Structure 1
Amino acid sequence: MNLKKIFSNQQAVVIAALVVICIVFSLLTDKFLQATTFTNISKSAYYVAFMAIGVTFVIATGGIDLSIGTVAICSALIGGTFMEKGAPMFVVILIMLLVGAIFGLINGILVSHFELPAFIATLGTMMVSRGLGSIVSKTKTISFPQGNSAGAWFREIFMVTKDGGILPKNFPTGFILLAVCAVVMAVVLNKTRLGRYILSIGSNKEATRLSGIDVKKYETLAYVFSGVFAALAGLAYVAVFSTAQPNTGNGFELDAIAGVVIGGTSLSGGVGSIVGTIIGVFIMTVLKIGFPYIGVQSHYQLFITGIILVFAVYMDILNRKRKG
């Protein structure tokens, strides 16, 4: 077995890193191996992982989407406002997904048709979505149904909230939905024409255009995916935390993008892995949950996470130099 060949694959490296991190935390504290830890990791990973799945497609094109965090909260605030006016929960969910898709479409058009730099375009929509959520909700915190309230059923998609069922209370059922979405989108990215075109755009956009592929169409679709999954992240967020607050969401996108990069998707485009993205997100989440157990304060968490991110980007640069 050629170990050098195996560990040149960044996915293998991040899997090993996740295992090592879990082992270290379990040795340092007994709290880490408790069932509540798994629940907390899952609850914290849901919304970041859904955002990360969507933005993987954008980063694979060589772009970036800074708006996913605020779009997630904006979709929740707009959907929640309709909920307060009497809309049934399934309609609220459709509205949230539609809001995410519209923002993704706007980002895609700005980047592909108007040729704005992705950083500037999505920075603008980040501000717009944050402001729009506050305007529509009138700066009020929106509370979503809980317990036996009408519409509270949607929370069961992400977490068991009642006793007496097949699964124990607080069991993270959203992990199942996340796994299904990850498998489907991994197939889309790696086994379909759509995914191949998106990766081709990231590898060489001009060559892809000259080969007759509608670059603008597929680049726009990548941003639509990102917007829809941002809205799904918003749904996961309110299912777990029950409320959506205006002027929040900033910073969510950094966790998602960090997970994508750590998982092996190249910021230069042309390389993408949904499986790697999920592993990268769980590395970030395990660190976030595990550090407080051993007494590491939040500012040290940010410091260490930043070092990990820079190291992941540096490894990506080395891999691209080695291949090119």
Structure 2
Amino acid sequence: MQVKGNIKIIKAYIAGPGLQKVIAVGALIVLYLFFSFFGNHFFTLDTFVSILDSSYYIGFMAIGITFVIITGGIDLSAGTVMVGSALIGGVAYNVWKFPIALCLVVVMFSAVLFGVFNGILVGKLGLPPFIATLGTQFISLGYCSVIAKVQTQTYPSLNSPDGWFKQLVYKNNGFPMGAVWLALSFLLAWVLLNKTVLGRYTYAIGSNEEAVELSGIKSSSWKVLVYIVNGLFCGFAGIIYAATYSSITPQTGNGQEMYAIAACVIGGTSLAGGIGSLSGTILGVFVISVLKTGLLSMSLPVQWQQVLIGVVVLLAVLMDVIRSRKAKKA
């Protein structure tokens, strides 16, 4: 009986995100050691800070997208919503002359509105998430550029009177404040996903939406809420993106969501839905960040960086497919 019980535990572990999280930890260690030996000045404090800097906006997006993927959905608009919301915030600062604090509220509000829009398309109108969010990607890409009149928007520099927001959310006397906010956002998302009704229904919808409906729960309303949560974290990503890059260029952002989706899958979140964890997602974010920073330290052309990151994404999806097959056999 004990042996059978142990076998069941092992099978459940393989079926869940646990094994892939272990693999993600191993990949993170191997990549860090590899680039430390073969990269140029990789094993330094400055490089470590660079890894953190490149993980912030990807991390915020990935946290929100984790909720969506667990429901069995996807969000292809997160990158353009992130940049587009930051662009509208820049218009509020440069053209509408809003105080910088109110501009940050505009960034959050814009991203949440796009989240509501995605939620209505997927939850209420029943559009496939892939098609719905692909449409939102183009809408956010174009509409935000129209508001900005296709003009690059700039945020105040770190040393200017309005640069306090960068010290608050990005970097203060060299201290990576972004890491603090990412950790706080992780804790908030973890509570939502693991300790609330929203989290339970998120997993339930991804596991068996039909059973959820038969139990009398309106899954459509909960899907809307999940996409709103995703929009909220895209807003956080937009603020940290503005703090990091200062200049926001119209017609950009598409493709950034792929890093976040890859991070989710690397961390064990199943594209089939019903399985995933935020701790795994954060591991995946750092795998992507170490890979990007490490390839730069080896002076590899950008084209080859994209190729290798694409290979990592394909391997992560392949691992997800293999895990799903093993789960069905179990």
Asked whether the two chains share a fold, i.e. TM above 0.5, the reply is yes
Determine if contact 2:85/2:235 at 8 Å carries over to the other structure.
yes
Q: CA deviation at 1:149?
A: 2.4
State the Cα deviation string for residues 158-196 of structure 1 (Å, max 9, x = none): 3335xxxxxxx3331110110111122122112322101
Q: What residue in structure 2 maps to residue 240 of structure 1?
A: 244
Q: CA deviation at 1:296?
A: 2.4
Q: What residue in structure 2 maps to residue 164 of structure 1?
A: none
5+ residue gaps, structure 2: 1-5
Please tell me the residue identity of whatever aligns with 2:133.
Answer: T
Q: What residue in structure 2 maps to residue 165 of structure 1?
A: none
Q: CA deviation at 1:152?
A: 1.2
Please tell me the residue identity of whatever aligns with 2:274.
Answer: G
Take 1:196 and 1:318, find their aligned partners in 2: how far apart are those partners? 25
5+ residue gaps, structure 1: 162-168
Q: Which moved more, 1:4-13 or 1:277-286?
A: 4-13
Please tell me the residue identity of whatever aligns with 2:327.
Answer: K
1:83 aligns with 2:93: yes
Where in structure 2 are the equivalents of 1:61-140 lying within 5 Å? 61-84=71-94, 85-140=96-151
Query: Secondary structure in 2 aligned to 1:247?
Result: coil
Determine if contact 2:242/2:248 at 8 Å carries over to the other structure.
yes
Q: Which moved more, 1:297-306 or 1:278-287?
A: 297-306
Take 1:300 and 1:147, find their aligned partners in 2: how far apart are those partners? 33
Q: What residue in structure 2 maps to residue 34 of structure 1?
A: 44
Q: CA deviation at 1:101?
A: 0.8
Give the TM-score of the pair, scaled to structure 2: 0.91
Q: CA deviation at 1:294?
A: 2.1
Q: What residue in structure 2 maps to residue 22 of structure 1?
A: 32
Give the TM-score of the pair, scaled to structure 1: 0.93
State the Cα deviation string for residues 192-245 of structure 1 (Å, max 9, x = none): 221010111011111111112220111111111111111211111110111111
Q: What residue in structure 2 maps to residue 186 of structure 1?
A: 190
Determine if contact 2:171/2:178 at 8 Å carries over to the other structure.
no
Q: CA deviation at 1:30?
A: 5.4
Please tell me the residue identity of whatever aligns with 1:153.
Answer: W
Q: How many residues align?
A: 315
Please tell me the residue identity of whatever aligns with 1:117.
Answer: P
Determine if contact 1:159/1:170 at 8 Å carries over to the other structure.
no
Q: What residue in structure 1 maps to residue 3 of structure 2?
A: none
Q: CA deviation at 1:105?
A: 0.6
Please tell me the residue identity of whatever aligns with 1:183.
Answer: L
State the Cα deviation string for residues 248-303 of structure 1 (Å, max 9, x = none): 10111111111111111111100121111111111111111101222322222222
Please tell me the residue identity of whatever aligns with 2:153.
Answer: I
Where in structure 2 are the equivalents of 1:302-317 lying within 5 Å? 302-317=306-321
Partner residue of 1:252 out of 236, 244, 256:
256
State the Cα deviation string for residues 108-146 of structure 1 (Å, max 9, x = none): 110111111111111111111111111111111111011
RMSD, aligned CA: 1.7
Q: Are residues 303 and 30 of structure 1, via their aligned partners in 2, closer, same or farther at CA, if it must alter by over 3 Å? A: closer
Query: Secondary structure in 1 aligned to 2:42?
Result: helix
Please tell me the residue identity of whatever aligns with 1:97.
Answer: M
Take 2:205 and 2:313, find their aligned partners in 1: how far apart are those partners? 24
1:46 aligns with 2:56: yes
Q: What residue in structure 2 maps to residue 279 of structure 1?
A: 283
